[in-house]
Amino acid sequence: MKTYSYRVIIEPDERHTYHAYVPALPGCHTFGNSLEEARKNIRDALDVYIRSLLADGDDIPQDKGIEVVEMYSFPEHKTPHAVHA
């Protein structure tokens, strides 16, 4: 059995659900009402996606992307004092 490794991105969306996708596999998207449901659904979507490629004799894409999470610190924004005339 071959093991494939892919980055999965899960983001909250405007409907208060979670959108999950795999950048290396175009069209491999799903969602869930909770983070746990989105994780389960994307695992299912990955399974179907890869099985479909294998059944069609297509090459299995490899995830060659690099993901970097950067943290930035900004000074707190202070609102200017109102000028009274």
pLDDT in tens, 50-67: 999 999 999 999 999 888
Instruction: Report the domain count for the chain.
Output: 1
Looking at the domain assignment, is residue 54 inside a domain?
yes
Q: What pLDDT, on the 0 to 100 scale, is given for residue 4?
A: 87
19-36 per-position pLDDT tens digit: 999 999 999 999 999 999
Give the CATH number, domain containing residue 63.
3.30.160.250
Alpha helices in the chain (DSSP H): 35-56
Looking at the domain assignment, is residue 55 inside a domain?
yes
Q: Which pTM does this prediction carry?
A: 0.76
- Look at 23 and 68; give whichever has higher pLDDT: 23
List the domain range (segments joined by +) for residue 21.
1-80
Looking at the domain assignment, is residue 85 inside a domain?
no
- Considering the chain, what is the average pLDDT of its residues? 90
Looking at the domain assignment, is residue 21 inside a domain?
yes
Distance CA 10, CA 42 (A): 9
Distance CA 61, CA 52 (A): 12
In the structure encoding, which two tokens stand for residue 9, read together?
């991105």
Looking at the domain assignment, is residue 40 inside a domain?
yes
Task: Spell out the residues 6+ positions from residue 21 whose beta carbon is closer than 8 angstroms to its own.
Answer: 8, 9, 28, 29, 30, 42
